[in-house]
Amino acid sequence: MANVVLIGAGFAGQTAALYLGDALGKKHNITVINRYDVFGYTPSWVWVGVGQMEPEKTTFKLKPVYDKFHINFVQGTAKSIYVDDQYVLVDKADGSGETKVPYDYLLIATGAKLNFAGTPGLGPHNGYTTSICSLPHAIDARDRLFQLMERMEKGEKVKIVVGTGHPGATCQGAAFEYLTNIHKVLLKRGLRDKAELLWLSNEPALGDFGVRGLRVRKGGQIITSEDFIRAIFELYDIKWQVQTGVRKVEPGKIYWENYEGVEGETEFDFAMLIPQFLGPGFTYFDKDGNDITDQMANKGGFVLVDAIYGLDWDTLAETPEAWPAVYQNRKYKNIFAAGIAFAPPGSISRPFVNPNGLSITAAPPRTGMISGIIGRIVALNIIDLVKRGRMTHSERMTEMFAACIASMGDSLWDGSAATIVIYPVVPDPRTYPNEEGRDLFVTDMEMGLAGAWMKRMIHTTFMHKLQGRIGWKFIPE
């Protein structure tokens, strides 16, 4: 009987858990360790953050799902991993102390560690900005936004800044969507003229989104994502400042440096800035009790897998096989990492170091879709290893699709969304020998009501799928 342990119940972990439970749950031991007893549908926290969706519509309890799939659940925080003795040390959430969870196969799918401390003054707890990166944060952001709107209703003019809160942050798509939803909410409340909106980001250009942007042919013209987002911002009267790394935040002021090395500050009344994402940051020990973390994870705490690390960016851009295919640690082959937890071989967008030596480089995003696909690939491979002793599945991010749907209001009648479809996420110039390195039929961007329908459909289908409800396997990640 095999012990399969998963740390994390986000898109990657929950997808993997369902496949593993379905295939192995009755005869083998599948255990999920997660800090919380609920799954949170992160993409809809944008809507929670503007009061367009009730928080409870974005979560469901994990245990009833796991019971259906013969999965054990340990609610707690994983602290360290003993890679030779093969167990995870967990601090149990009920306060009863530590427990050892043994494994034959381990999947680390912890999602992002939100490094607010990486930017002094950032974040809702010890800082002055809001966040939509967790449900409590999104609720807090909503409440603060509503308080701000009350001030605006009394005639006050305000400045709202949304974007990235660290020179190496990612997730620009979510931040962009939050900004467009704020615009829509203010418009609906008749308050739009009371607010100056600013997009502040570390992207090399507008519309980069950490994936190098895209170019599509529309009506005979080539349109770049930079053109597309600029057109939206001009339509919505949103100002923008890119090539900027936020260094610190004080009450009402954001301090930044840009590509030219210029240091500046921007005032704000309300700011939502995405923090730097780090990996799980576990400590790894060998059989002699030595700390071997530097062999298992990179400096950011992301787990080293079957990627080719250390390539310069130009070489990486021409080497699709540098991206991992099976998400397996090279030394400890029974350890896998999925979703945000694995260490990518580099950035997708071109990195930049300014004259002050500051790297202002958008980190590669891992959306829910990508995380789910990786979770499935790893789960299927673990099933293969248990049943057949060898893996038969693989998929790199140079083969994966991503859809970024930035809603602008949630109405299914007169709403809208900017839909950006990218295939593959990481350009592959060998398979697609065009300037983009992408499939030019699938890769597209557009704006309209169809995007609003897509966004709502994806919320409903993902929530259905990840609860393991009928037909869950037929719904794509």
Partner 1 sequence: MTTFQITDKEKKKMQNKIVQAWRFIVLNLKILKAVDHSKRS
414 lies in the site for partner 1, by CB under 8 A = yes
Smallest gap from Cβ 434 to partner 1, in A, equals 15
Q: DSSP of 52-81, one letter per residue?
A: SS-GGGGEEEHHHHHHHTTEEEEEEEEEEE
Measure the CA–CA gap between 228 and 213, rounded to whole angstroms: 10
448 lies in the site for partner 1, by CB under 8 A = yes
96 lies in the site for partner 1, by CB under 8 A = no
Measure the CA–CA gap between 428 and 420, rounded to whole angstroms: 18
371 lies in the site for partner 1, by CB under 8 A = no
- Identified binder of partner 1 from the candidate list 149, 377, 379, 466, rule CB under 8 A: 377
234 lies in the site for partner 1, by CB under 8 A = yes
Q: Is the peptide bond before 424 cis (omega within 30 degrees of 0)?
A: yes
β partners of residue 159: 196
- Identified binder of partner 1 from the candidate list 130, 141, 416, 459, rule CB under 8 A: 416
401 lies in the site for partner 1, by CB under 8 A = yes
183 phi and psi angles, rounded to 5 deg: -55, -45
12 lies in the site for partner 1, by CB under 8 A = no
394 phi and psi angles, rounded to 5 deg: -160, 150
Residue that is written with structure tokens 């500051």 in the block: 358
Smallest gap from Cβ 414 to partner 1, in A, equals 6
- Whether 35 and 93 have beta carbons less than 8 Å apart is answered as yes
449 lies in the site for partner 1, by CB under 8 A = yes
Nearest Cα neighbor of 429 from 421, 440, 420 is: 440
Measure the CA–CA gap between 353 and 260, rounded to whole angstroms: 9
395 lies in the site for partner 1, by CB under 8 A = yes
Interaction pattern, residues 51-90, with partner 1; x per rule: CB under 8 A: ----------------------------------------
Residue that is written with structure tokens 């005639």 in the block: 155
Smallest gap from Cβ 382 to partner 1, in A, equals 15
444 lies in the site for partner 1, by CB under 8 A = yes
If you count DSSP H runs as helices and E runs as strands, how many of each does the chain have, helices first?
Answer: 10, 24
Q: Which is nearer to partner 1, 148 or 348 (CB)?
A: 348
Measure the CA–CA gap between 88 and 65, rounded to whole angstroms: 23
The residue range among 118-126, 162-170, 171-179, 222-230 that interacts with partner 1, by the rule CB under 8 A, is 222-230
- Identified binder of partner 1 from the candidate list 96, 299, 312, 441, rule CB under 8 A: 441
Interaction pattern, residues 451-470, with partner 1; x per rule: CB under 8 A: x-xx----------------
The residue range among 64-72, 84-92, 162-170, 444-452 that interacts with partner 1, by the rule CB under 8 A, is 444-452
Q: Which is nearer to partner 1, 353 or 412 (CB)?
A: 412
Q: Which is nearer to partner 1, 151 or 393 (CB)?
A: 393
Smallest gap from Cβ 278 to partner 1, in A, equals 28
The residues near 259 (Cβ < 8 Å, ≥ 6 apart) are: 204, 243, 244, 352, 354, 360
Dig out the tokens for 328 from the structure. Answer: 């397996």
Q: Which is nearer to partner 1, 61 or 217 (CB)?
A: 217
Q: What is the CA radius of gyration of the chain?
A: 22
